[in-house]
Structure 1
Amino acid sequence: MKKVFYIVYLLLFVPALLLQSCDRGDDPGEEIATPAFSLMKDYMVSNNLDIDKILTSPSGAKFVAPPPADADLASFLVKYYMMDIRSAADFAKGHIEGAKNVAFGNILTEAANSNGKPILMICYTGQTACYGTALLRLYGYSEAQALKWGMSGWNSTTAGSWNNNIGNEANGHANWSYSAAPANQVYKDPIINSFSQDGAAILKARVEQVVSEGFKTVKGTDVLNSPSNYFINNYFSDADYSAFGHIADANKILPWVLADNSYLAFDPDTNAKIATYCYTGQTSAVLTACMRVLGYDAYSLTFGMNGLYNSNSAWTSNKWSESVPKNLPLVN
């Protein structure tokens, strides 16, 4: 009799126990798939693709490379596979020796021709190139860099893109504040639509989509005049947040990474655009590219603090002036 009891027990209760151990949806025959965002996030963290590794590669290479000193020009030119993403007309007027003119939408395809060389992205001001550099790093080109300040920093004859865009509208503006940063909140993960259950494949598809959409930006004057229309993040240190001042009610979410969930300070469901700003618009471009891959409706504030308040007395570095450009050679 005991033997029959045990057989009945095994037939009835063990299968039920096994079913309860599975993560299933309302349909008892269908398991719930792991969210695409979680799969991509885990892949990024495990493969040195977290946000801090995009800003500075595992080997220690920052996302920007400054123009070389005259004595270092020759070694600089042979080091990189250079992709100039400016218009064909401006490229023809003058470019760096050895650079190849590439449309932004083709950067992932062109990167395959780099033959192991680190890629140097070149644009007008460094901002679009930094956006592209972040996407290249997420795509597997971990040593890709952008030319700091773009062609504006290479030669004084190509410096107009920066010279013409410094500004001081924040000086005395009603929406410029010196108050303390608001407390960061905790939100939920963004939702990414994907049928894949492979984190690497999801990331690849996301990067390709973000490249196809182009650089996403907002003007500093628009954000300054209507800050309530944006979820603003000021990417400054505590000291600079206070010393420079900031757009009213700007958050200070820095640093933020995936591994410790500090990225959850961004609201994926806000009806406002997420606008990040820094000193030059270059770091914010990197962060914005990463955020868009992660599924946020993110935008980089063009020209950063230099475009908002270039005359601010708090500057210690990364201030644009007409003395910044070098006079390195151009070819046409």
Structure 2
Amino acid sequence: MKKLAIYFIVLLIVPALFLTSCDRGDDLGEDTAVATPAFTLMTDFMVQNNRDIGNILTNTDNEKFVVGPPAAADLQTFLDTYYIMDLRSSSDFATTHIEGANNVAFSDILTTAATTSKPILMVCYTGQTACYATALLRLYGYPSTRSLKWGMSGWNASTAGPWNSKIGSNLADGHSNWSHQGAPATLVFDDPTISTTLTDGEAILKQRVKALVAAGFGSVTVSGSDVLNNPSQYFINNYFSEADYLGFGHINGAYRILPLTLGDNSYLGLNPDANAKIVTYCYTGQTSAVITACLRVLGYNAYTMTFGMNGIYNTNPSWTTNQWGGDSNPKNLPVTNN
């Protein structure tokens, strides 16, 4: 009888242990479920809502991020179309500005954008700060925002000093770090890591844009001379066409990851390490400012090379477009101090 009692007790205990074990396993599975990374949440939203890098460069209405100064005959239509934000200093704005423009601090571009239903035109000295701001506004949800190409330098000869003063050094001409070799093979890296408590892709994107607006533009720039003299200190991405990459030449070791988008995973060619200073350079520093804004939102330690190719080799014989003082010069459009 004693053995029989023990047998029945075992029959009761074993199933209970089995069920307890199953319950613990289920709970453990729920507790250790891996949350979707913030980077994935944000970039999924960006791709699905036309905010991939390509859409920031050219929106769904086929409008590029920059627009050139208008012909004199089209001036009034141009002025009536846009709400103009001039990002220059208050003193320079007071001296000379475009009629109807509004002097806005960089840190206030989001709050100011919310006050108008017009397409926004960003204006600065050279177009580079304005392009960075344009990218951030497009990322935030203002896709019709554009930047005045060449900034006030392209509007009138009296305000062309900021561009004129940066041209003529031709540092790259004959420099040992200037190369005509083919681009190095593109590597494949992991996604950047984004730290946030938010779990909504749009909210994460807006949080990151706001932080970059608060930080301003000056901290994301590097000079062409520093990159040219010290290329090993940077992860360099050249944003030329393939023909110009070889024809113009390029900074030694520069990759050519172009197009650069989330949708085709080409962004994985960039190094996400926080110690890797990713520098994009283009012809004018304007496209690279847009790319840099996008990359910083994505979590890269990204920088733009100011004045681009124009700043280090303006007299390169391969120029056909975007050469300051060549095919591109200031217009004679009116300015005011009222």
TM-score range for the pair, normalised by the shorter chain length: over 0.9
State whether residues 275 and 301 of structure 2, in contact with CA within 8 Å, keep that contact through their aligned partners in structure 1: no
The whole-number CA distance in structure 1 between the counterparts of 2:207 and 2:151 is 28
Q: Could you list the runs of 5+ residues in structure 1 that have no partner in the other structure?
A: 1-6
Aligned with 2:183: secondary structure?
A: coil
Aligned with 1:319: secondary structure?
A: coil
Matched, 1:221 2:225: yes
Aligned-pair CA distance for 1:319: 0.5
| Aligned pairs for 1:290-301 within 5 A | 290-301=294-305
2:165 counterpart residue number: 164
- Higher mean C-alpha deviation, range 252-261 or range 123-132: 252-261
The whole-number CA distance in structure 2 between the counterparts of 1:17 and 1:138 is 43
Aligned with 1:328: secondary structure?
A: coil
AA partner of residue 125 (structure 2): Y
Measured against aligned partners, the alpha-carbon deviations of 1:5-55 in whole angstroms (never above 9, x if no partner) come to xx99x96798688668x6x5xxxx353321111100101011110000000
Aligned-pair CA distance for 1:59: 1.1
Aligned-pair CA distance for 1:261: 1.0
2:140 counterpart residue number: 139
Aligned with 1:74: secondary structure?
A: helix
- Higher mean C-alpha deviation, range 320-329 or range 195-204: 320-329
The whole-number CA distance in structure 2 between the counterparts of 1:270 and 1:309 is 30
% same residue = 62
CA RMSD in angstroms, aligned pairs only: 1.9
The whole-number CA distance in structure 1 between the counterparts of 2:26 and 2:242 is 52
2:12 counterpart residue number: none
State whether residues 274 and 300 of structure 2, in contact with CA within 8 Å, keep that contact through their aligned partners in structure 1: no
Measured against aligned partners, the alpha-carbon deviations of 1:203-257 in whole angstroms (never above 9, x if no partner) come to 0000001111111100000000010010000001111100000000011110011
2:79 counterpart residue number: 77
2:130 counterpart residue number: 129
> Which of 222, 226, 241 is the aligned partner of 1:237?
241
TM-score (norm 1): 0.92
Aligned with 1:146: secondary structure?
A: strand
The whole-number CA distance in structure 1 between the counterparts of 2:270 and 2:180 is 22
Q: Which runs of 4+ in 1 moved over 3 A?
A: 10-20
State whether residues 219 and 301 of structure 1, in contact with CA within 8 Å, keep that contact through their aligned partners in structure 2: yes
Aligned with 1:224: secondary structure?
A: helix
Aligned with 2:51: secondary structure?
A: coil
Matched, 1:37 2:39: yes
| Aligned pairs for 1:93-242 within 5 A | 93-114=95-116, 116-166=117-167, 167-215=169-217, 216-242=220-246
- Higher mean C-alpha deviation, range 64-73 or range 270-279: 270-279
Matched, 1:330 2:335: yes
2:322 counterpart residue number: 318
Aligned with 2:278: secondary structure?
A: strand
The whole-number CA distance in structure 1 between the counterparts of 2:65 and 2:89 is 23
AA partner of residue 326 (structure 1): K
The whole-number CA distance in structure 2 between the counterparts of 1:294 and 1:247 is 25
Distance 1:172 1:30, change over 3 A: same
The whole-number CA distance in structure 2 between the counterparts of 1:47 and 1:17 is 39
AA partner of residue 212 (structure 1): A
The whole-number CA distance in structure 1 between the counterparts of 2:136 and 2:94 is 26
Aligned-pair CA distance for 1:171: 0.3
1:275 counterpart residue number: 279
The whole-number CA distance in structure 2 between the counterparts of 1:270 and 1:234 is 20
TM-score (norm 2): 0.90
AA partner of residue 184 (structure 1): T
The whole-number CA distance in structure 2 between the counterparts of 1:15 and 1:96 is 71
Q: How many pairs align?
A: 320
Q: Which has the larger radius of gyration?
A: 2
1:91 counterpart residue number: 93
AA partner of residue 52 (structure 1): G
